[in-house]
Structure 1
Amino acid sequence: MSAANDPRGEDAVTAAVLVIGDEILSGRTKDKNIGFIADYLTALGIDLMEVRVVPDIEDRIVAALNALRADYTYVFTTGGIGPTHDDITADAVAKAFAVPIGVDPRAVAMMRERYSDADLTPARLRMARIPAGAELIANPVSKAPGFRIGNVHVMAGVPSIMQAMMDSLAPTLKTGRRMLSETIEAGVGEGAIAEAFAAIAAANPDTILGSYPFHDGTRFSTRLVVRARDPERLAAVAAEVTAMVAALPSKP
């Protein structure tokens, strides 16, 4: 969809999330970050447009980063900035931006708030390796920082730490107009409303319409969601959908 035809508008602030880690793909670790980031960005008026999950393979991380950072206003990564040998996100980001990487004195200073010099082992100092030119993202939980370079924001995979990093970096983000939404309960399955709902969507290309089927324990039903940035357009199209539902034959 071209920007001209995208109901989000040409001035929309967009984002992608890149989840990094073999443990996510194997199912050993269940991702708890995507939903949080989606809610957080929505509240800021930033449209999350894409999520990718890649293994701990440098070339795969680099390729995904370069594709996503070219397409969206922001990229947020989670995972792979810890102290172990398979934490290779920082190196992959440095490679994607073609910059050197090394132990950053600023990161070491942050980590000294938690660790003594004796505790700053070579493994822990891996968490202080930052690509050249990057800005640090504060980590009030465990002190090892994330970092931002270009439009890429690199955060931890541990949910509590990632959430604290999001709070730290949020004031630096460009925000957009919030996407508003209204939900209409159809009371019938998707098949009963698909044609009429599609017609409303086609007639209102400046809004986003979605249908979400569910089973209420007795029967199938559908929630119809209208999304728009303009409250008047939201109200007008939601009224069309409500009228369409009201005109349906009596529900069983």
Structure 2
Amino acid sequence: MAETKRVTASVLLIGDEVLSGRTQDKNLQQIARFLAPLGINVVECRVVPDIEDEIVEAVNTLRAKTDYVFTTGGIGPTHDDITADSIAKAFGMGIDVRDDALEIIEHWYAKTQTPVTESRKRMARIPDGSSLIDNPVSGAPGFQTENVFTMAGVPAICRGMLEDIAHRLEKGAVTLSRSVKGDNLREGEIAEALGTLQDENPNVSLGSYPYFMEVKDGKIKRGTHLVARSTDSAALDGVIDALTNMVSDLGYVPRVDPED
């Protein structure tokens, strides 16, 4: 039986380096893509600096609004890695080095004959009552505190941690996506009809995205990409048919579900 429940998630990106532009975030995209086939929709994303009060406020706000929260960044060995302490504060929990987390870290560092310093032991500080999230890339675990999943900021590590999260999540209705492209179609030409179609189909989300691409001889290829998303496949198909007719009626050749 298909899932029909709407399940939501939010993403909290933590770190001064993201806000400064020095680090380009990739985690929002990969988290959203990982969750989509599970029927979990990312509905909000925030970026906060390495400031405890701001992390605490964001965590508490998001965990009350969405079914799940995914945080990335700030769980390394340095002084500015304050996410674990902030999560503990948000939940009113204690925090300390935990034996099971430390054992994992010691095992990984032993492989490279690297000493486990006091700084590295910081990565074994886990809020009380949290469950560990496996890190198959570099060892140091993330952790789950109720509906909040705390993961590393390095994209490859974050992606690896997601594999230990999927089985913990309640699945929802999968949102399907289809689209129609019209080369040379301008948004203004279809805006009114698109608005009417949206009003007539409230259970389908419609988006319009103009595109501009340089082709041979420096010429510009332009057009509009019309995207429809819904958990109702029949309604989605009906909207795609309507969009196809709209583009055709305006004198353009519709490309349905284009690969590019």
TM-score category by the smaller chain?
A: over 0.9
Are 2:153 and 1:151 equivalent residues in the alignment?
no
How far the C-alpha of 1:186 sits from its partner, in A, is 2.5
Are 2:53 and 1:59 equivalent residues in the alignment?
yes
2:123 alignment partner in structure 1: 127
Report the 3-state secondary structure (helix = DSSP H, G, I; strand = E; otherwise coil) of the residue aligned with 2:85: helix
Indicate the percent of aligned positions where both proteins have the same amino acid.
50
Q: Deviations over 1:1-26 (max 9, x none)?
A: xxxxxxxx982110000000001111
Give RMSD over aligned pairs: 1.7
Q: Which runs of 5+ in 2 are unaligned?
A: 215-219, 254-260
Matched ranges for 1:98-113 at <5 A: 98-113=92-107
Matched to 2:7, the amino acid is V
Are 2:91 and 1:97 equivalent residues in the alignment?
yes
Matched to 1:54, the amino acid is V
1:194 alignment partner in structure 2: 191
Are 2:36 and 1:33 equivalent residues in the alignment?
no
Are 2:163 and 1:167 equivalent residues in the alignment?
yes
Matched to 1:52, the amino acid is R
Q: Which runs of 5+ in 1 are unaligned?
A: 1-8
Are 2:56 and 1:69 equivalent residues in the alignment?
no
1:183 alignment partner in structure 2: 179
Report the 3-state secondary structure (helix = DSSP H, G, I; strand = E; otherwise coil) of the residue aligned with 2:224: strand
Question: For 2:9 and 2:171, how far apart are their aligned partners in 1?
Answer: 11
Question: For 1:100 and 1:185, how far apart are their aligned partners in 2?
Answer: 54
Structure 1 residues 250 and 223, CA gap change in structure 2 (3 angstroms) = closer
How far the C-alpha of 1:250 sits from its partner, in A, is 5.7
Report the 3-state secondary structure (helix = DSSP H, G, I; strand = E; otherwise coil) of the residue aligned with 2:75: coil
Matched to 1:72, the amino acid is T
Report the 3-state secondary structure (helix = DSSP H, G, I; strand = E; otherwise coil) of the residue aligned with 1:114: helix
Question: For 1:170 and 1:221, how far apart are their aligned partners in 2?
Answer: 38
Question: For 1:36 and 1:11, how far apart are their aligned partners in 2?
Answer: 23
The TM-score, its normalising length taken from structure 2, stands at 0.90
Question: For 2:196 and 2:172, how far apart are their aligned partners in 1?
Answer: 29
The TM-score, its normalising length taken from structure 1, stands at 0.92
2:237 alignment partner in structure 1: 235
Contact 2:5 2:173 in 1 (8 A): no
Structure 1 consecutive aligned stretches of length 4 or more whose deviation exceeds 2 Å: 115-118, 216-220
Question: For 1:31 and 1:205, how far apart are their aligned partners in 2?
Answer: 32
Question: For 1:250 and 1:233, how far apart are their aligned partners in 2?
Answer: 24
2:39 alignment partner in structure 1: 45
Question: For 2:130 and 2:252, how far apart are their aligned partners in 1?
Answer: 61
How far the C-alpha of 1:143 sits from its partner, in A, is 1.1
Structure 1 residues 108 and 241, CA gap change in structure 2 (3 angstroms) = same
Report the 3-state secondary structure (helix = DSSP H, G, I; strand = E; otherwise coil) of the residue aligned with 1:115: helix
Question: For 1:239 and 1:197, how far apart are their aligned partners in 2?
Answer: 13
Question: For 1:215 and 1:119, how far apart are their aligned partners in 2?
Answer: 53
Count matched residues.
Answer: 243
